Each structure stands twice: as C-alpha cells, then as structure tokens.
Amino acid sequence: MAYGVKIECWGPYACFTRPEMKVERVSYDMMTPSAARGLVEAIFWHPGLRYIIDEIDLLSPIRYTNIRRNEVKSKVLSSSVSSGARSGREIYLYTKADIQQRAAEVLKDVRYCIHVHFEMTDKANAGDNPGKFREMLCRRARKGQCYHQPYLGCREFPAGFRLVEDNEPVVPYPETRDLGYMLYDMDFSDREHIIPEFFHARLEKGVMDLRNCEVHR
Amino acid sequence: MAEPIRNRYDFVILFDVVNGNPNGDPDAGNLPRVDPETGLGLVTDVCLKRKIRNYVEAAKEGEPGYRIYIKENIPLEQSDKEALDYIGISDIKDVKKKDPDADAKIRNFMCSNFYDIRTFGAVMTTFVKGALNCGQVRGPVQLGFARSVDPIAPQEVTITRVAITTTKDAQNKSTEMGRKYIVPYALYQAEGYVSANLARKTTGFSEEDLALLWKAIINMFENDHSAARGNMAVRELIVFKHDSELGNAPSYKLFERIHVEKKDPTQVPRSYNDYTVTVDTDDLPQGVTCQRMI
C-alpha cells in the first residue's frame, strides 16, 4: 500500500443515513465507506485520482441519540423559478405550510480512523504522479486545510480531522459485531442511473476491513 | 456581481438565554432540547439559520439580491417586483435539449437573487439528475449544533389565563391552565465554518455577504423576541480568518483556544457575568488572525 494515508476524524454527532430509513433518518452503526470517501474528498480531491477506502477503525463506543427537527418538505422547482423570473413575481417557500417534523437517530461522540489509498485515473495531467497527490493530501490534513469543512454524514455534523502519521499507532475500540448489509458506495459511472452498492460489514475488534470485500448491487 | 470571498473562516458564537426556551424539542412536548446523557442544552443548526434568514429579510427588505427563499410567513401584500433581467428561458423542458447550460444559469439566477441560497445552499430539482450531485447546491456557510457550556435545568412554569376559548368551557370554569418551559440561564456555544472554495466555485458568496452574515449573527436574537424565548443575546462572535482559501490551521485547534469558564465553579450560573471568556491569541498559527466581533 504505497499510497496509503490514515485520517482520524471525530465529531459530537454523526448521521450515516440508512437508505431504507430515510424519512425518519436512522444512522448506520458505523461510518460507511462512501461517507469516508466524501470526508477525504472534502480535504483534497482531483479528477486524476479515485479514493478507495481500505479500512475504517472504530475509536470510540457506538452510542445513539435522537433529534427531532422541523424540516422543509419540498425542493426548489424549476417551473416556479422560471415563471417567477418571467413575471417578476416573488418566489419563496412558505415554511408553515411546507414543513414536516422528522426525527433522526444519530450517532454520538464518534471517532474513526480512515485508511485510504488512491488510484490514478485517466483524467490525471501529464505532470501528476501518485507521490505528488499523496503529498498534497498529507500536507493539507496535517495543516488542517480543506476544500470545505468535512462532515459526518450531514453538513450540520462537522468533523474535526487530522493526519495519522505513518509510524503512529492506532488503537481501535474493541467492539466485535456483525453490522449486516451496509452501503458501500454509489456507482456514478452512468450519470443517468446511479446504482447503490452494498457489502456485508463486520466489525472485528473495532476494525471494519474493506479490502477484498464482496460488493453487491 | 461582487467578487466571491478569498479566505476561509472558522467562527464561534456564544449566546445566552435568560428565562426562556431557546429551542423546543418536538419530541418532548416543546421542552428545551437537552442531551440526556450530559444534561447539556442543545440548539439545532437549523434554528440558528432561521434567525439569520429572518434578520436578513428584515434588514434588506426588498433589496435586489437579498431575497430569502425559505420564509416563515407569507407577506400579506405581494408587491410586484420589476421584471428581472432573466436568462431568457421560456420552457424548461424545451430548453434543456437546446441549452446545455440551462442548469447552471438557473443555479446562478437563484444564487444571485437569494441570500440564503448563496449562503447555506439549497436542494433544487432544476438540475438534470445526477449531473450536479442530484441538484444539491452546497453553500459556503456551515453551522453545527450549539451546545450549552454547563448542564441546563429546564423548568416547567404553569400559567393561567382568564379568557376561555370555547363558550362551553366558559360555563364550567373561569380560568385555563397553560404551561411553558424555561431555562433559567444558559450559555451556548455554536461553531461554524465558511469555505471560500464553495463561495468561488458555486454560489458567489461575497465580502459584502460575509459582512452581512456577521451582522446577522450578532443581531440574530434582536428581532426574535417572543413570549417563549425570554431574553436571548449573542455575547461573542469570535472569527478566525485564514489568509488563504484552504486555510492555515485545523479548525479544532483554533476552537480549543477559546476558553469559557465559570468564575466560581461551585456556583450555579445565572448571568453572563458568571463566566469569563478568553481567547489565546498570542501564538496563533501563521496566517491566521482572530477577531472578536462584539
């Protein structure tokens, strides 16, 4: 694993929403590989590379809490934007009528260590090489730089992050459990048909190993 | 349009409440939100964003470019605004085939007209599915939950009223009982982030917008008085400015420089004077400046 990098991340709350329970959100017990990829991409990303998550370590016990909020129901409609713009009428969303209360079962006080490596894609420029990309990611993570503040599943749950240096030990929280089928990632290769991929996740003494895992779709 | 911002910012808001309910929990019969394990009070990010929107709407009423998309109340009178210099889209379905940039144009239109979309982002269906992250526009400003510094002790206050709603009830009783919840005192801390990259690449959030954001945060409770809220006020807005887009230091290390402590640890806090707030600004990381905006 020549280009492997370890990133530690943490936050007071996290919600890695299960796709089957999206209305009243329920989080997975553990960070999903797709959330981990998004978190690393918030620090550094380039079209010339593709991140692959190797392992996610649990560093603090799995705990839940419940939050209910008033949430807006609908999205911005293209038809109302264009009609509002043409007639000069005001467009807005009336929250009293367009709101619903939704509960979220979220994780509390989470801390993970993400083991990630990347592959070069054909969009890389001629001057790019893995060493350069790795150095950029490490430098940003070490200095706390980021493209935007990474988050743990939802933007209201911002994540702190730091680089775990190569020789630094990682001590997972020794939890062993079968996590069942979890979202691996979304397959974006066909923009019109984005396909979710799942895998059977197991937490072995706090380590969720994603190397050679079988991905179902 | 004004230039987008060029710096990353991390900020901390300290606000307090006296005899009020800063944010009710719909799951607990409108009791103030409490973390059941620690007893710390909570105020959600959306609650604070609502106040920022309300302030901007009140302060910039009708000004072009400062409209608010997500409104609490429909204005009684819908004033006809002058026609917008729009992008010349007549039929959305038709245009998508002809004009591949239509999505970007609509997004830019929404961002340049609506302050809240420029600031916090929005989910729009205007975009061809999948081409732009399912129509999600991420705004540069990100807010976390606010947590109280010390555990809070919500109180139930029972009140009476002499006006009875229904005539049937009025024959049987002369008063009705009501209930409200208050937090006698609590100081809350919220953390936020401003990403210059998202401002430049997506929404065009500018320096003026940023100045308005700080003003809105400082004044967010001033126009939000109500029977439920009690006295709420923003006490501190501490802003760390990085001299680059990507930033110069981890935000958690900057936030750790803010120390909010009780003057007398044995006393129950009942006012802001019971706390001292200090910020270590002596050895700030290179390229980071700290400003206390209040």
Query: Is the pLDDT score of A123 beyond 90?
Result: no
pLDDT at A72: 78
Chain B CB within 8 Å of residue A92 CB? yes
Mutation target to probe the B interface, by most B beta carbons within 10 A, among A25, A100, A155, A161 is A155
Subunit contact A145:B79, Cβ cutoff 8 A: no
pLDDT band at A84 (very low <50, low <70, confident <90, very high): low
**What is the distance of C-alpha A87 from the center of its chain?**
41
Instruction: Please answer whether residues B153 and B144 qualify as being in contact, where contact means their C-beta atoms are separated by less than 8 angstroms.
Output: no
Q: Which is more confident, A129 or B12?
A: B12
**pLDDT tens digit sequence for B218-269:** 999 998 899 999 999 999 999 999 999 999 999 999 999 999 999 999 999 9
3 state SS of A41: helix
Query: Is the pLDDT score of B94 beyond 50?
Result: no
DSSP labels for A168-181?
---------EEEEE
pLDDT at B135: 60
pLDDT at B88: 45
pLDDT band at A77 (very low <50, low <70, confident <90, very high): low
Interface confidence (ipTM) of the complex: 0.76
Query: Is the pLDDT score of A213 beyond 70?
Result: yes
The span from the CA of A4 to the CA of A11, in Å, is: 23
pLDDT at B91: 44
Query: Is the pLDDT score of A129 beyond 80?
Result: yes
Chain B CB within 8 Å of residue A38 CB? no
**Closest Cβ–Cβ partner in B71, B90, B124 for A94:** B71
**pLDDT tens digit sequence for B10-36:** 999 999 999 999 999 988 888 999 998
Query: Is the pLDDT score of A1 beyond 70?
Result: no
Distances (CA, A) of A138 to A4, A7, A50, B10: 10, 9, 16, 21
3 state SS of B188: strand
Subunit contact B124:A76, Cβ cutoff 8 A: yes
pLDDT at B81: 34
For B227, counting Cβ atoms within 10 Å of its Cβ (0-12 exposed, 13-18 middle, 19+ buried), the class is exposed
Query: Is the pLDDT score of B205 beyond 90?
Result: yes
Q: Which two tokens stand for residue B96?
A: 């998508």
Q: Which is more confident, A167 or A76?
A: A167
Q: Which is more confident, A79 or B78?
A: A79
Q: How far B177 CA sits from the closest chain A CA (Å)? A: 26
Mutation target to probe the A interface, by most A beta carbons within 10 A, among B60, B74, B242 is B74
Q: How many other CB atoms are found less than 10 A from the CB of residue B181?
A: 18
pLDDT band at A130 (very low <50, low <70, confident <90, very high): confident
pLDDT at A80: 64
Average of pLDDT values for B80-88? 37
pLDDT band at B186 (very low <50, low <70, confident <90, very high): very high
Mean per-residue pLDDT of chain B: 84
Residue type (1 letter), A170:
V
Subunit contact A90:B67, Cβ cutoff 8 A: yes
Q: Which two tokens stand for residue A191?
A: 């923009």
Q: How far A7 CA sits from the closest chain B CA (Å)? A: 13
- DSSP class of B97: H
Q: Which two tokens stand for residue A104?
A: 């979220």
Chain B CB within 8 Å of residue A161 CB? yes
Q: How many residues does chain B have?
A: 294
pLDDT band at B101 (very low <50, low <70, confident <90, very high): low
**Alpha helix (H) ranges present in chain A?**
33-43, 78-87, 130-143
pLDDT band at B172 (very low <50, low <70, confident <90, very high): confident
Query: Is the pLDDT score of A180 beyond 80?
Result: yes
pLDDT band at B87 (very low <50, low <70, confident <90, very high): very low
pLDDT at A2: 56
**For A143, left (φ over 0), alpha (ψ -120 to 50), or beta?**
alpha
pLDDT at A109: 94
Q: Which residue has the tokens 């919840």?
A: B181
The span from the CA of A135 to the CA of B235, in Å, is: 41
Q: How far A203 CA sits from the closest chain B CA (Å)? A: 25
Mean per-residue pLDDT of chain A: 88
Residues of A in contact with B106 (CB under 8 A): 78, 81-82
Instruction: Please answer whether residues B137 and B263 qualify as being in contact, where contact means their C-beta atoms are separated by less than 8 angstroms.
Output: no
Average of pLDDT values for A137-141? 94
pLDDT at A193: 81
Residues of B in contact with A66 (CB under 8 A): 27
| Closest C-alpha among B142, B143, B246, B139 to residue B203 | B139
For A40, counting Cβ atoms within 10 Å of its Cβ (0-12 exposed, 13-18 middle, 19+ buried), the class is buried
Of the listed ranges A185-189, B31-35, B134-138, the one predicted with least confidence: B134-138
Q: Which residue has the tokens 């049987």?
A: B172
pLDDT band at B69 (very low <50, low <70, confident <90, very high): confident
Phi, psi of B274 (to 5 degrees): -80, -5
